[in-house]
């Protein structure tokens, strides 16, 4: 595959631009294995699965990511929940199908539980003018983020646009979503998630929590199989679990402040209600080990 030099440009400037994209084309660079192995030596007795060495095609095989420890997170965090900034706003962009409206409602409920914060779905607005690229038949995620930054509510912990149309950024063939590290904004697309309700819903919930993690200044995870792991394709995104690993959970808990047991209890109820038995069982097992 021919590599567009812009891919590397964007990635190397990723932290400078304070944006996280979550899909890409490919370039072999390799992960910082030394750091990852150090963390992988922590024997996990809670059932969290350590991330195995990456394979060609997978995110970490192609992108050099150093990971982010809890201490590094505390030093780098730029979006902390406060009393004045505590609400997650989900902003429908453009026309959504009845199925996607239902998915947005579940997204709101999940955001409330996962991030232990109030969340609401706003009235739809049109997709920002000028973001459509007629040569690619896709929407420019960066242009949409710039617009969202301007209309973000003052009390937003996060302001995230959701749309049915496909997104891209320059240099990449598409992105599932784009999250800003320090502007409290993000945008996700449901365009590539298929027509089966349950599968589409699960993918939508996963992209929401993953991008929200970035909006809360969390980098990609390199330690465990975790919702914060980067993904290079839909199959890799599907392999990613819905939960946060112990490293990433500690970051969220420090930022948001919640009762871990109460959060797990609510998540288990939510997963059961949706028929996500595997996820419910995993957290139930965690709960029983912790008690």
**Residue 22 within binding range of Zn ion, rule CB under 5 A:** yes
**Residue 245 within binding range of Zn ion, rule CB under 5 A:** yes
Instruction: Find the angle CA(158)-CA(13)-CA(232) to the nearest 5 degrees.
Output: 70
Stretch binding Zn ion (CB under 5 A), from 15-23, 86-94, 156-164, 182-190? 15-23
**Residue 167 within binding range of Zn ion, rule CB under 5 A:** no
- Figure out which of the listed residues 248, 280, 283, 286 binds Zn ion, where binding follows CB under 5 A: 248
Looking at the Cβ atoms of 48 and 139, the one nearer to Zn ion is: 48
Residue 61's φ and ψ, nearest 5 degrees, are -70, -30
Rounded distance between C-alpha atoms, residue 282 and residue 291, angstroms: 15
H-helix or E-strand spanning residue 178: strand 177-180
Place of tokens 């959504």: 96
**Residue 252 within binding range of Zn ion, rule CB under 5 A:** no
**Residue 103 within binding range of Zn ion, rule CB under 5 A:** no
Looking at the Cβ atoms of 125 and 249, the one nearer to Zn ion is: 249
H-helix or E-strand spanning residue 89: strand 87-92
**Helix, strand, coil fractions of the chain, as percent rounded to 5:** 45, 15, 45
**Residue 20 within binding range of Zn ion, rule CB under 5 A:** yes
CB of 36 to Zn ion, least distance (A): 12
Looking at the Cβ atoms of 70 and 132, the one nearer to Zn ion is: 70
Annotated active-site residue 123? The verdict is no
Give me the catalytic one of 58, 211, 236, 279. Answer: 211
Stretch binding Zn ion (CB under 5 A), from 154-162, 166-174, 201-209, 240-248? 240-248
Structure tokens at 245: 């690993």
In the window 220-239, what residues touch Zn ion (CB under 5 A)? Answer: 221, 226, 228
**Residue 216 within binding range of Zn ion, rule CB under 5 A:** no
**Residue 115 within binding range of Zn ion, rule CB under 5 A:** no
SS3 98: helix
Residue 53's φ and ψ, nearest 5 degrees, are -55, 140
How do 156-163 and 185-189 pair as beta strands?
parallel
How do 19-21 and 177-180 pair as beta strands?
antiparallel
Footprint of Zn ion (CB under 5 A): 20, 22, 221, 226, 228, 245, 247-248
The catalytic site residues sit at 211
């Amino acid at each position: 595959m021919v590599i567009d030099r812009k891919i590397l440009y964007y990635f190397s400037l990723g932290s400078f631009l304070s944006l996280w994209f979550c899909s890409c084309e490919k370039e072999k660079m390799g992960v910082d294995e030394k750091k990852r192995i150090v963390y992988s030596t922590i024997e996990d007795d809670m059932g969290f699965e350590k991330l195995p060495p990456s394979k060609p095609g997978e995110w970490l095989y192609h992108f050099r990511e150093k990971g982010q420890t809890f201490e590094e997170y505390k030093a780098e965090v730029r979006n902390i929940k406060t009393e004045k900034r505590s609400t997650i706003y989900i902003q429908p962009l453009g026309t959504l199908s009845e199925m996607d409206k239902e998915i947005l409602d579940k997204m709101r409920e999940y955001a409330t539980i996962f991030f232990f914060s109030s969340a609401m779905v706003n009235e739809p607005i049109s997709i920002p003018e000028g973001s459509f690229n007629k040569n690619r038949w896709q929407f420019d995620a960066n242009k949409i983020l710039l617009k969202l930054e301007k209309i973000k509510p003052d009390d937003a912990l996060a302001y995230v646009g959701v749309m049915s149309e496909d997104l891209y950024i320059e240099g990449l063939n598409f992105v599932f979503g784009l999250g800003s590290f320090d502007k409290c904004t993000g945008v996700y697309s449901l365009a590539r998630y298929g027509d089966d309700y349950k599968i589409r819903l699960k993918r939508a919930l996963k992209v929401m929590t993953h991008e929200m993690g970035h909006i809360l200044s969390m980098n990609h995870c390199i330690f465990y199989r975790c919702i914060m792991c980067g993904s290079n394709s839909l199959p890799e995104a599907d392999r990613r679990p819905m939960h946060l690993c112990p490293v990433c959970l500690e970051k969220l808990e420090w930022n948001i402040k919640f009762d871990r047991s109460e959060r797990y209890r609510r998540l288990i109820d939510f997963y059961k209600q949706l028929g996500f038995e595997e996820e419910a069982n995993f957290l139930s097992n965690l709960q029983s080990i912790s008690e």
